[in-house]
C-alpha cells in the first residue's frame, strides 16, 4: 500500500558527477513489494509536483530505503542540498516493479543506462538471493559519471561502457550485448527510452522486462500524464507508467 510520510534522511553523499546516494528511514520500506518500485518525493512544500525516484535498495529490518539520483533540474538540485537529519515528504512505494516472485530465470542479464542503473541494484540483490546468476552491463557518459560498479561486481560479472571510452568499453551498452549471447535467458533493463528501444531490439526473442522513465503528474494513476501506448489490439490501448508500470514486459508497450 502507498503511504505518505515524513522520512528522515540518515545518509546522503555524492557518489559520482552530479549523482547522489541518499538513505531514508521510516515506515515506508515495509510496504515495498518488488524491486523497481519508486518513491514520489515532494522536495519543497512550495513545489507543485513531486519527483519520482526509483528505489535502489531497501532494508526492512532497519526501516531504510536508498535512492540514487542525478541532478537534472531545479528539483533534484534542491534535493542535493538536503542534509542528514532533515525530513522529506515521501509518497510511496509506487507502481509495479520487476515481478521477482514469478520470475523463472536461471541466468539474468541486467542492462542499465546512466540514472536508470539504480533500480537494477535492488533487483540484482534479490535475483542473487533466489540463486539466479546475474551478469550486468552498465552504460555511462564518461568516467566521472560511473557509479555502483563495485556494488554490482559483488553480485556477479560486470561490464562497463562509456560513450567516450574514458572508462571500460567505448560505446553504448548495446555494443556489448552480442558477446554475451548464450550467457543469459532473461534480461532486465532500465534507462533512457532510446536505450530501452535499442536493447529490446537487440535482444528480441528473449524474455525481457523494461523499466520506463517519464515525467509524472500524480504518481498514483489518476491524472493520465504518464501514459505509454500499448500495441494494436490491446483492449485499453495504453498503460499508465506510474500505476501499471514503471516495469513492463517487452511487447506490452510501444517504446
Could you tell me which residues are annotated as the binding site?
Answer: 51-54, 75-76, 218, 223, 226, 242
Residue 211 CB neighbours (<10 A)? 28
Q: Nearest distance from residue 255's CB to another protein, in Å?
A: 12
Considering beta carbons, is residue 4 or 170 the nearer one to another protein? Answer: 4
Q: Nearest distance from residue 149's CB to another protein, in Å?
A: 28
Considering beta carbons, is residue 21 or 243 the nearer one to another protein? Answer: 243
Report the C-alpha gap between 16 and 114 in whole angstroms.
11
Residue 104 CB neighbours (<10 A)? 9
Considering beta carbons, is residue 15 or 254 the nearer one to another protein? Answer: 254
DSSP state of 6: E
Q: Nearest distance from residue 222's CB to another protein, in Å?
A: 4
Considering beta carbons, is residue 21 or 239 the nearer one to another protein? Answer: 239
Residue 235 CB neighbours (<10 A)? 5
CA atoms within 13 A on the CB side of 26: 23
C-alpha cell at position 24: 531514508
Report the C-alpha gap between 183 and 151 in whole angstroms.
21
In the annotated binding site for [2Fe-2S] cluster, the residues are 218, 223, 226, 242
Any idea which residue has 509495479 for its cell? 96
In the annotated binding site for FAD, the residues are 51-54, 75-76
Q: Nearest distance from residue 42's CB to another protein, in Å?
A: 6
Contacting residues toward another protein, per CB under 8 A: 1-2, 4, 42, 46-50, 75, 91, 214-229, 236-238, 243
Q: Nearest distance from residue 55's CB to another protein, in Å?
A: 19
Whether the Cβ atoms of residue 236 and residue 244 lie closer than 8 Å to each other: no
Candidates 98, 88, 74; CA nearest to 28 is: 88
Considering beta carbons, is residue 84 or 229 the nearer one to another protein? Answer: 229
Q: Nearest distance from residue 2's CB to another protein, in Å?
A: 7
Considering beta carbons, is residue 41 or 158 the nearer one to another protein? Answer: 41
Whether the Cβ atoms of residue 208 and residue 187 lie closer than 8 Å to each other: yes
> What 3-state DSSP class applies to 225?
coil
Whether the Cβ atoms of residue 176 and residue 159 lie closer than 8 Å to each other: yes
Residue 139 CB neighbours (<10 A)? 29
Amino acid at each position: 500500500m502507498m503511504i505518505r510520510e515524513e522520512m528522515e534522511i540518515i545518509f546522503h553523499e555524492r557518489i559520482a558527477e552530479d549523482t547522489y546516494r541518499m538513505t531514508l528511514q521510516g515506515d515506508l520500506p515495509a510496504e515495498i513489494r518488488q524491486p523497481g518500485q519508486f518513491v514520489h518525493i515532494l522536495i519543497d512544500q512550495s513545489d507543485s509536483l513531486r519527483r519520482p525516484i526509483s528505489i535502489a535498495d531497501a532494508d526492512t529490518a532497519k526501516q531504510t530505503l536508498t535512492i540514487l539520483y542525478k541532478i537534472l533540474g531545479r528539483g533534484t538540485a534542491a534535493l542535493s542540498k538536503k542534509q542528514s537529519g532533515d525530513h522529506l515528504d515521501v509518497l510511496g512505494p509506487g507502481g509495479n516493479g520487476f515481478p521477482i516472485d514469478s520470475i523463472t530465470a536461471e541466468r539474468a542479464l541486467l542492462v542499465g543506462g546512466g540514472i536508470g542503473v539504480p533500480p537494477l541494484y535492488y533487483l540484482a540483490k534479490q535475483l542473487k538471493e533466489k540463486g539466479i546468476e546475474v551478469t550486468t552491463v552498465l552504460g555511462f557518459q564518461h568516467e566521472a559519471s560511473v557509479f555502483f560498479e563495485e556494488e554490482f561486481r559483488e553480485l556477479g560479472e560486470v561490464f562497463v561502457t562509456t560513450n567516450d571510452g574514458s572508462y571500460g568499453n567505448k560505446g553504448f551498452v548495446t555494443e556489448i550485448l552480442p558477446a554475451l549471447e548464450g550467457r543469459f535467458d532473461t534480461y532486465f533493463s532500465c534507462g533512457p527510452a532510446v536505450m530501452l528501444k535499442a536493447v529490446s531490439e537487440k535482444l528480441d526473442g528473449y524474455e525481457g522486462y523494461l523499466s520506463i522513465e517519464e515525467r509524472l503528474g500524480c504518481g498514483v494513476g489518476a491524472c493520465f500524464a504518464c501514459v505509454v501506448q500499448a500495441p494494436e489490439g490491446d483492449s485499453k490501448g495504453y498503460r499508465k507508467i506510474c500505476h501499471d508500470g514503471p516495469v513492463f514486459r517487452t511487447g506490452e508497450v510501444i517504446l
